Amino acid sequence: MTSFEKIMKFLFHNQVAWYVDMFGKIKSNKTTLYLDRNNCTSLDHIEKWLCINDLINIAKYFNKNCELDHCTADSRYYIQINSDGEPKVNAAINNYSSFIYFNKYDDAIEAIGIIGKEKLNKIFKY
């Protein structure tokens, strides 16, 4: 059976890893610290990871006054990218196909403007 440790060792032991250093700078080097959860396999990988973190932080900000009952209601919203690369806000009515939600439609729209189309495309592009 494959374990997380085996996967990390395969990807990073004596391989080049991309990471964010303690000063917030993106760096890369050959490493034996294969279990460091900050490791990424490429510059694109770390940039995507940082964009996801930006969107999570934006959602945390907008949802800061969230009451538990409202947070679990079926009236939350999520951002997706259409096939033409344009961001769109969808209602998450019994359809939880995202991992970042906004409690208000207008907040999700504003989040698109804050994070920008370029970062959203990095997040949702495979």
Summarised one tens digit per residue, pLDDT across range 10-47 is 999 999 999 999 999 999 999 998 999 889 999 999 99
Beta carbons within 10 angstroms of residue 75's beta carbon? 11
Q: pLDDT tens digits, residue range 52-77?
A: 999 999 999 999 876 555 565 557 89
How far, in Å, are 1, 58, 73, 91, 102 from residue 45 at the CA level? 26, 20, 33, 28, 25
pTM higher than 0.95: no
Residue 23: what are its φ and ψ, rounded to 5°?
-100, 5
Q: Show Cβ contacts of residue 62 under 8 Å, excluding neighbours closer than 6 positions.
A: 102, 103, 104, 107, 108, 110, 111
Per-residue tokens: 124: 């949702």
Beta carbons within 10 angstroms of residue 122's beta carbon? 18
